[in-house]
Amino acid sequence: MFFKFFAITKNTFVEIIRQPVYAVIIAAAVFLFFINPSLTMYTMDDDNKLLRELGLSTLFIAGLFISIFAASAAITEEIESKTIITTLSKPVPRFIFMLGKFFGVIGALLLAHYIFTIALLMSIRHGVLTNASDTHDMTVMLCAGVTIILPIVITTFLNYFYDFKFTSTAIIFISIFATISIAFLAFIDNEWKYNPAGNKIAAFDIYASILLLIALFVLTAAAIMFSTRFNVLVTLSSCIGLFLLGLVSDYIFGRLADAHLWAKIGKIIVPSLQVFWISDAIYEESATITNGYIVSCGIYGLFYTAAFILLAVALFERKQVG
């Protein structure tokens, strides 16, 4: 049973990272991280705080589109193309198939989110050039260039001579070089000196990324659930609707939960994504993110993730795929 689960998870992960749309979303998000310092340099407030908020928004939205399109590719396309019949005839229990697909999508999401987080840290490390005398952080610029250009050169060589899949190979190499680059930036400052204390990598940004990842797990499980019944367009619309409703859940349901039954039911059914979004803490100097808060949000997210997956399994059990 475990080998079937592992095989489905592995195949799903490989198929997703080979999808052109996966690479396009990653490329678009990385480009936005690259230009964010320029977009936030004309505010009347603290530009670097806006840079952090815009970066986290980019991180979340890019992850949302990754999860939706990955879930649709993993479930909907297999159902519509009838390739799912071959898998289920092995035989493979439907709940194992669904769990394998879910964890395969999660693996692809984790890889993309990891790259996005490093791009976010690089963007924040560079900062906004608020004054005419400010200069670019050339250590960040060089590391970003190496992280993008060198993997493309290596992948082009492997693709041309050894037939390696370009998109998946490039993404894997980018994640490796991104790891090396952020490790280098953690110890070297903008004057090319060994200075770990001046690396400008804040724990706040890492914690914020972890919280957003938990929220993306919930939305990924919801996307898997919608994909068992709907096509890509309806799944996309449903997930975006859930995303927007989750952001205002406390306002719509929470404040009325004590007085109205429908609000209490809505508060239970709709996950409050606002607990994972900590933009308010960016503008409050005294605000901190504690380990206890991350753990409590993790438990909250795990509850809704498990609920959506169990519902997806129940829906898929009654799905006619033949």
pLDDT tens digits, one per residue of 231-268: 888 888 898 899 888 888 888 887 777 777 888 888 88
Where does the pLDDT of residue 46 fall: very low under 50, low under 70, confident under 90, or very high at 90 and above?
A: low
pLDDT band at 45 (very low <50, low <70, confident <90, very high): low
Predicted local confidence at residue 301, as pLDDT: 95
H-helix segments, the chain? 2-17, 20-39, 47-71, 77-81, 83-88, 94-126, 138-162, 166-185, 203-227, 232-247, 249-252, 261-269, 279-282, 291-317
| Cβ count near 185 (within 10 Å) | 24
Collapse the DSSP code of 188 into the 3-class scheme (helix H, G, I; strand E, B; otherwise coil) and give the result.
strand
d(CA 122, CA 144): 8
Residues linked to residue 194 through DSSP beta bridges, in sequence order: 188
Over residues 7-30, mean pLDDT: 93
Contact 308, 99 (CB under 8 A): no
Whether residue 42 is predicted with pLDDT greater than 70 in this model: the reply is: no
Query: Residue 131: is its pLDDT beyond 70?
Result: no
| Mean pLDDT, residues 307-315 | 92
- Please tell me the distance from the alpha carbon of residue 291 to that of residue 6, in angstroms, as a whole number: 32
**Distance from C-alpha of 109 to C-alpha of 133, rounded to nearest angstrom:** 40
Q: Which two tokens stand for residue 185?
A: 């930036």
Q: What distances in angstroms separate CA 48 from CA 37, 39, 191, 212, 258, one per listed residue?
A: 8, 11, 20, 20, 40
Predicted pLDDT of residue 44 = 58
Confidence band, pLDDT 50/70/90 cuts, at residue 75: confident
Mean pLDDT, rounded, for 305-315: 92
Question: Distances from the Cα of 271 to the Cαs of 40, 50, 247, 268, 307, in angstroms?
Answer: 31, 26, 9, 7, 11
Distance CA(154)–CA(135), nearest Å, equals: 31
The better pLDDT of the pair 204, 321 is held by: 204
Give residue 133's pLDDT: 62
Q: Residue 306 above 90 pLDDT? A: yes
Orientation of helix 203-227 relative to helix 94-126, angle to 10°: 150
How do the domains of the chain map onto residue ranges? Answer: 2-317
Do the Cβ atoms of 315 and 229 come closer than 8 Å?
Answer: yes
Q: For the whole model, what pTM was predicted? A: 0.92
Q: Tell me: the pLDDT tens digits for 144-200?
A: 999 999 999 999 999 999 999 999 999 999 999 999 999 999 999 888 888 888 788
